[in-house]
Homo-oligomer: A and B are copies of this chain.
Amino acid sequence: MGDTERLVEVIRGRAARTVGLQFPVGLRTKAVELAQEIESKAGVTCLVSADPSFGACDVAEMPVDLIVHLGHAPMPHLRYNRVFFYDLPGPALASMAFVDAAEPLLPKRVGLLTTTQFRHWLPAIKEHLEKKGHAVRIGEPDRRVAYAGQLLGCDYHTATIVEKDVDGYLYIGTGDFHPLGVAILVDKPVIVADPERGTARDLKEVRDHVLRQRHAAIARAHDAAVFGIIVSKKIGQERMDLALGLKALAEKHDRRANIFLMDLVSPEFLEGYRVDAWVNTACPRIAIEDILQYKQPMLTPQEFEIVLGERDWSEYAFDEIRA
């Protein structure tokens, strides 16, 4: 795991006797090794948290002196309790081939975006693109993201803050979801440069496909009588006030709505309830990426407003969780 010495120092400095370790799925293979190393070097007992962890929004409580959370950057606005975010060294930038593959698709003025994993690559990529004649902007972070140019699946601030200064975006990363929000929020091209595949792609088709899917979900929910409004228990996903507002809005329009409180949102946990459509106020990915797994339509809060006639489709907006 590289320099666990630094982590051992932190544990000693806090006089912790029990340490909780939280890993994202991709780092589970390192969990036993790290726990063993910490136990022998720091003389503590480690508890590995085996509840899935999806981000810095999802830091589980543990009965320990110190929680060590790996693989995510802290969200500055959240008040974590006894949590140390252990920043693993990211992968090295071995080649610019994937950036060069994206370059011909880019406008002159471009905003650079990525996730926490690749954030240390941005200065070199900016310089590389500037040499090729681009004007490159990297948006400063706000209260919910830690680093410049960092996107969350629920926060596109570093993209929208530079919107007026760019004609399109380059996203460094492997998946579609993070840049998808940008492509829907901002009417400018979003290009993905994928360091694992070494290739680049324009997000336009994915964006259009998802928007058609959202339109269909809204249409399916149009005549729903009973809505289930999902509220997360996770520290950075809980939006109870929003949910209670949506419940009141539903009742104003003579629809029935009930609040469903849960930790992990998963299709099997929502089976059996007599609900015609779901409204998701937890992680925005759930409604967008997982919609086909749910029997009933799964709407974002903004889409629910469209169903109720409180918002026009022309004002469609991607869901974000703002501090």
Q: Which A positions have Cβ atoms within 8 angstroms of B?
A: 20, 25, 28-29, 31-33, 35-36, 45-52, 62-63, 226, 228, 230-231, 233, 240, 244, 247, 256, 258-265, 269-275
| A230 closest partner in B (C-beta) | B50
Sample of 12 more A-B contacts, CB < 8 Å, known A32-B258, A48-B261: A25-B272, A28-B271, A29-B273, A29-B274, A32-B256, A35-B258, A47-B231, A50-B230, A50-B269, A51-B264, A62-B261, A63-B261
In the bound complex, do residue B28 and residue A258 qualify as a contact, i.e. CB atoms below 8 Å apart?
A: no
Given the contacts A62-B261, A261-B20, A275 and B50 also touching, CB distance less than 8 Å: no
CA distance A48 to B269 in the complex (A): 12
* A209 CB to nearest B CB, Å: 27
CB contacts (< 8 Å) of A20 on chain B: these are: 261
CA distance A32 to B260 in the complex (A): 10
CA distance A261 to B63 in the complex (A): 10
In the bound complex, do residue B50 and residue A262 qualify as a contact, i.e. CB atoms below 8 Å apart?
A: yes
* A39 CB to nearest B CB, Å: 8
CB contacts (< 8 Å) of A228 on chain B: these are: 32, 48
Q: Is the interface of A mostly helix, strand, loop or mixed?
A: mixed
Given the contacts A20-B261, A264-B264, A272 and B48 also touching, CB distance less than 8 Å: no
Given the contacts A25-B272, A272-B25, A32 and B62 also touching, CB distance less than 8 Å: no
In the bound complex, do residue A256 and residue B36 qualify as a contact, i.e. CB atoms below 8 Å apart?
A: yes
* A231 CB to nearest B CB, Å: 7
CB contacts (< 8 Å) of A52 on chain B: these are: 269
In the bound complex, do residue A263 and residue B51 qualify as a contact, i.e. CB atoms below 8 Å apart?
A: yes
Question: Which of these, B29, B36, B258, B262, contacts A258 with CB under 8 Å?
Answer: B36
Top 10 nearest A-B pairs (CB, nearest first) are: A28-B272, A50-B262, A50-B260, A47-B261, A32-B274, A35-B258, A47-B259, A48-B260, A51-B262, A28-B273
CA distance A264 to B261 in the complex (A): 16
CB contacts (< 8 Å) of A25 on chain B: these are: 272
Given the contacts A20-B261, A62-B261, A261-B20, A274 and B47 also touching, CB distance less than 8 Å: no
